[in-house]
Structure 1
Amino acid sequence: MSFLTLTHLQKSFGTVKVVHDFNMAIEKGEFISFLGPSGCGKTTVLRMIAGFETPTGGTIEIDGKNQTNLRPNQRNIGMVFQAYALFPNMNVFDNVAFGLKVAGKPKGEIETRVKEMLKLIHLEHLADRYPYQMSGGQQQRVALARALAPKPQVLLLDEPLSALDAKIRVSLREEIRQIQRQLGITTVFVTHDQEEALSISDRIVVMNAGKADQIGTPGEIYNRPTTRFVANFVGTLNVVQAVLVNGAAGTVQIGNKTLQLSQPVTGKADGSSISLAFRPEAATLADAANGDAALSGTVISSNFLGSVLRTKVDLGGNIVSFDMFNQPSAVLPKTGDTVSLSLQQDGLMVLGD
């Protein structure tokens, strides 16, 4: 049985509908990320789970109990905000203890639990400091500890890392995931950063215009997107126009080259135009690997990106990118060079709407 269930969830502000018939079943202990651009409805769904927004329609259940009409303080939920929201007049200890004091817990129990939380976030030595005396990363750790201290059933995180610099962001997201696994707490994480979502989630909900375009594991979302929006939003994608030669056999044609796909193409008539897509890492120089198809084109540009070398190629009017791992002996193709790209069957996708 699912632990957190969202059924036909809807939300409108006046005449504007921002969440459309959202459905999801989340298992106990799962780490779920809501991923999407600004205004797609991901934070609104999170706020409805927390009780800060009342659904226009639908239900929210936690552990089989209907939460839809409960106030935030009646739900056993911990929330971490983007802006930390720590109490500036309280030190670290008192910030973490706040929820426990409101719940009327005994003093001894509060002290023990706060020490446990500070040990969990490795900030025992900063118990007496105030928020203004700490870095952004440290403040966000305290906010996490405060949310976890009352032992909530569900942890909600609303873009908690977006205000931090890149290096701290990577470190803290790994720490959040480690703590989540250690406690086994059901977690919903909102982000617009695809790398964050791909790196720490059990499953990802890619949201678009108030709807869940696709729900799946990071591998499914990245390697097998089911809509054009998901394919373009998550990762870098090359799209080329092809002609369907034989849908049942999975045979397509790009220019004068015939390619064999790994699966048949359904829903399209032979001879029709289709959009074929592949990731930059799914193409290699023909003399560097044995692929299932080779397409010739002219190099437009090459860029050194550290661990990756990215080259743009004009394949008969289709502009595509391919990546090579950086090596000391690696040589970037030069603008104007003619190159052949090898494509693997299982790296090619037929894009839907």
Structure 2
Amino acid sequence: MSFLEIEHLEKSFGSVRVVKDFNLPIEKGEFVSLLGPSGCGKTTVLRMVAGFETPSTGSIRIDGRDVVSLRPNQRNIGMVFQSYALFPNLTVAQNVAFGLKVKGVKVADRTARVAEMLRLIGLEGYDDRYPFQLSGGQQQRVALARALAVQPQVLLLDEPLSALDAKIRVSLREEIRDIQRRLAITTIFVTHDQEEALSISDRVVVMNGGVAEQVGQPFEIYNRPSTRFVAEFVGTLNLIEARVLDRDSGRIGIGSREASLGRPLTSDRLTLGIRPEALTLGRAADRDMVLEGRIDDVHFLGSVIRIQATVAGERVMLDTFNRPGTPPPAPGQAAEFSVHPEDLLVLEGERSP
């Protein structure tokens, strides 16, 4: 039995089903991210786990106990919101101690716990400051400390970094992951940022239209997407239309070139998904599928050169490392591009609009 079990969870607002038969077992100490576009249902799932929304059907069990009928303050859950939600009239220490005070923890124990939390988030000496005297990143650290102070069984993070600038986001997400590992606390992290989800999660749940399209480790989600939506939503993906010449052998045509995918196909047309790093400019010994194209644009980014090209009538992108002795290709010139058939994602059916 998993530490946190979400089974057959559904939520409807009127006639609109926003979460549909959602199932997710989470192990103790695991860090799981719910990833998806706006309106996919990820925050609604989080709010049902927290107790802020009541499921239409389904169960939520924490350490074997069904919590659906319990109020939020009875679930032993810590939550960090996107907007920090700090009390502006309370100091940092008072904000962190708030949940402890509500629980009736003695003053001496509260003071010791607050000091411990401020050390954990690197804000020692900030006890008497007010939220308006802190930066956005510092405020979010205080919100995290407040959630952790009560020693929750589960930590819920609702897009906690979206209001911060890019540099602060990267550093704070690493701090959150480090703290989560040190405390070994079971955590659900909601985000629409793919890089965040892939970089810090044990597992990622990709949601679309209220459904969990795929659940897996970041490596698996990125390299072996199970649905077309996951393939197109996660990471950068080049899409090239191909003709199926022989279904049984997987023989296809791309522009004027033919190649074999080495596996049976079920339709007469398909779209190939190619990650930018799977494409190589020129012929490569370890990549035996060669495509013809044209260089459209070249962007020098220092250590990386980003190339935009046209292959089989489709715009594609690839990145290559800068080599001081090798100048980048010139826009407008014809070129060949190599790819290994195993690196192609076969997306059968209609292309997404």
When the two structures are superposed, what TM-score results if normalisation uses the length of structure 2?
A: 0.95
Q: Which residue of 1 aligns with 2:345?
A: 349
Report the AA paired with residue 343 of structure 1.
V
Report the AA paired with residue 336 of structure 1.
G
- Tell me how far 1:244 sits from its aligned partner: 3.1
Equivalent runs, 1:112-191 vs 2, <5 Å: 112-191=112-191
CA distance in structure 1 between the partners assigned to 2:202 and 2:295 by the alignment: 38
Report the AA paired with residue 19 of structure 1.
V
CA distance in structure 1 between the partners assigned to 2:325 and 2:158 by the alignment: 44
Q: Secondary structure at the match of 2:189?
A: strand
- Tell me how far 1:258 sits from its aligned partner: 2.5
- Tell me how far 1:240 sits from its aligned partner: 1.2
Q: Does residue 68 of the first structure (1) align with residue 68 of the second (2)?
A: yes
CA distance in structure 1 between the partners assigned to 2:179 and 2:9 by the alignment: 29
Which whole-Å deviations, capped at 9, do the CAs of 1:186-238 have from their partners, x for residues lacking one? Answer: 00000010010010001111111111111111111111111111111111111
CA distance in structure 2 between the partners assigned to 1:347 and 1:209 by the alignment: 28
Q: Which residue of 2 aligns with 1:25?
A: 25
On the 8 A contact 2:283/2:290 being kept in 1, the answer is no
Which whole-Å deviations, capped at 9, do the CAs of 1:280-313 have from their partners, x for residues lacking one? Answer: 1100112466421111111122223444322122
Equivalent runs, 1:55-94 vs 2, <5 Å: 55-94=55-94
Equivalent runs, 1:100-119 vs 2, <5 Å: 100-119=100-119
Q: Quick check: 13-22 or 192-201, which moved more?
A: 13-22
Runs (5+) with no aligned partner, structure 1: none
On the 8 A contact 1:226/1:352 being kept in 2, the answer is no
CA distance in structure 1 between the partners assigned to 2:297 and 2:344 by the alignment: 23
Q: Which residue of 1 aligns with 2:264?
A: 265
Q: Quick check: 145-154 or 219-228, which moved more?
A: 219-228
Q: Which residue of 1 aligns with 2:48?
A: 48
Q: Which residue of 2 aligns with 1:275?
A: 271
- State the aligned residue count: 349
Which whole-Å deviations, capped at 9, do the CAs of 1:76-118 have from their partners, x for residues lacking one? Answer: 1000000101111111111111111110112222111111111
On the 8 A contact 1:312/1:322 being kept in 2, the answer is yes
CA distance in structure 1 between the partners assigned to 2:169 and 2:119 by the alignment: 20
Equivalent runs, 1:289-304 vs 2, <5 Å: 290-304=286-300
- The structure-2 alpha-carbon separation of the partners of 1:284 and 1:11, relative to structure 1 and needing over 3 Å to count, comes to same
Q: Secondary structure at the match of 2:125?
A: helix
Q: Secondary structure at the match of 1:110?
A: helix
- Tell me how far 1:44 sits from its aligned partner: 0.5
CA distance in structure 2 between the partners assigned to 1:189 and 1:306 by the alignment: 33
Q: Quick check: 149-158 or 103-112, which moved more?
A: 103-112
When the two structures are superposed, what TM-score results if normalisation uses the length of structure 1?
A: 0.95
Residue among 315, 324, 331 paired with 2:320: 324
Which whole-Å deviations, capped at 9, do the CAs of 1:37-92 have from their partners, x for residues lacking one? Answer: 11111101000000000111111111110011211011110000001011111111
CA distance in structure 2 between the partners assigned to 1:329 and 1:96 by the alignment: 56
CA distance in structure 2 between the partners assigned to 1:287 and 1:264 by the alignment: 24
- Identity over aligned residues, as a percent? 62
CA distance in structure 1 between the partners assigned to 2:114 and 2:56 by the alignment: 38
Which whole-Å deviations, capped at 9, do the CAs of 1:134-187 have from their partners, x for residues lacking one? Answer: 100001001000000010000000000000010010000000000000000000
On the 8 A contact 2:10/2:20 being kept in 1, the answer is yes
Which whole-Å deviations, capped at 9, do the CAs of 1:11-60 have from their partners, x for residues lacking one? Answer: 11111111111111111111000111111111010000000001111111
Q: Which residue of 1 aligns with 2:11?
A: 11
Report the AA paired with residue 291 of structure 1.
R
